[in-house]
């Protein structure tokens, strides 16, 4: 998890945890701080359950709507600023006053910087939307992913034998998790066809 949600402190949200041999588990929180605790299977299961709880809470929150709203505002400001940047040279060329040309040049420079900042905000909001959607797909398919022994479900998604879970889902792109969902839909369709033929 790389993005939090309203009502949850970044310092309490677990980003991921990592086993350090059989002795310790290092927990990384969303605000960047880490905590190392003694390893046990019970602790590992509690951490995984906390990741699941966080994912469900964010999925049930307004996080997706808020991220889309942030993206919309960033795009609106960026488009408006780009239009004004394009008009700045016209103001410079059509105005005879050096003072007016200087003001138009400075305004164009400031708008350019602001457009870049809003472009970054747009990109970050877009990444947040992808993550929220990725987690939503995972939560919808969690039982299938965790209990599936048929490797065709994971075709084109993962190369190694590492299982996909909430602790490592950030290692997989949104496109890969969408592919996982498509593979599942194909499996369901194939099962339905073979079931009908059996009758």
State pLDDT tens for residues 16-64: 999 887 789 999 999 999 999 999 889 999 999 999 999 999 999 998 9
Query: Which residue matches tokens 């007016």?
Result: 100
- Mean pLDDT (whole number) for 121-148: 91
Q: Is the residue at 35 inside a domain? A: yes
- Amino acid 197: pLDDT: 58
- The answer on 37 and 67 residing in a single domain is no
d(CA 28, CA 194): 46
SS3 at position 62: coil
Q: How many domains are there within the chain?
A: 2
56 CB-near residues (< 8 Å, 6+ apart): 139
On whether both 49 and 135 belong to a single domain, the answer is no
Tokens of 140: 């919808």
In a domain, 55, yes or no: yes
Q: Tell me the average pLDDT across 185-194.
A: 81
CB 176 within 8 A of CB 133: no
Question: Domain for residue 159, yes or no?
Answer: yes
Same domain, 24 and 118: no
Is the pLDDT reported for residue 142 higher than 70? yes
Does position 135 have pLDDT exceeding 90, yes or no? yes
Whether residues 49 and 137 share a domain: the answer is no
Q: What is the mean pLDDT of the chain?
A: 87
What percentage of residues in the chain have a pLDDT greater than 90?
A: 48
User: Residue 160: pLDDT band by 50, 70, 90 thresholds?
Assistant: low
Domain range for 43 is: 14-60
Work out the average pLDDT over 137-141: 92
Distance CA 94, CA 96 (A): 7
Same domain, 111 and 47: no
HSE-CB at 108 with a 13 A cutoff on CA atoms is 15
pLDDT score recorded for residue 196: 65
Do residues 51 and 83 both lie within one domain? no
Of residues 35, 68, 178, 62, the one with CA closest to residue 169? 178
- If asked whether residues 54 and 128 sit together in one domain, one would say no
Domain membership of residue 7 (yes or no) is no
Q: How confident is the model at residue 76 (pLDDT cuts 50, 70, 90)?
A: very high
Look at residue 113 and tell me if it is in a domain.
yes
pLDDT at 124: 94
Looking at the structure, do residues 54 and 119 belong to the same domain, yes or no?
no
Sheet strands side by side (includes 34-38): 14-20, 24-29, 34-38
């Amino acid at each position: 998890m790389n993005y939090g949600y309203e009502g949850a402190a970044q310092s309490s949200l677990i980003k991921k945890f990592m086993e350090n041999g059989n002795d310790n588990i290092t927990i990384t929180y969303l605000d960047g701080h880490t905590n190392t605790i003694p390893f046990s299977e019970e602790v590992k299961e509690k951490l995984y359950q906390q990741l699941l709880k966080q994912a469900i809470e964010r999925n049930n929150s307004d996080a997706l709507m808020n991220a889309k709203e942030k993206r919309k505002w960033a795009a609106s400001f960026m488009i408006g600023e780009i239009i004004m940047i394009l008009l700045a040279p016209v103001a410079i060329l059509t105005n005879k006053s050096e003072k007016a040309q200087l003001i138009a040049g400075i305004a164009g420079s400031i708008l350019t910087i602001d457009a870049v900042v809003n472009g970054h905000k747009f990109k970050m909001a877009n990444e947040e939307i992808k993550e929220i959607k990725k987690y939503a797909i995972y939560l919808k398919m969690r039982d299938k992913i965790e209990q599936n022994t048929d490797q065709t479900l994971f075709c084109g998604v993962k190369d190694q034998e590492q299982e996909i879970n909430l602790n490592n889902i950030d290692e997989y792109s949104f496109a890969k998790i969408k592919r996982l969902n498509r593979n599942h839909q194909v499996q369901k369709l194939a099962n339905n066809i073979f079931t009908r033929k059996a009758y």
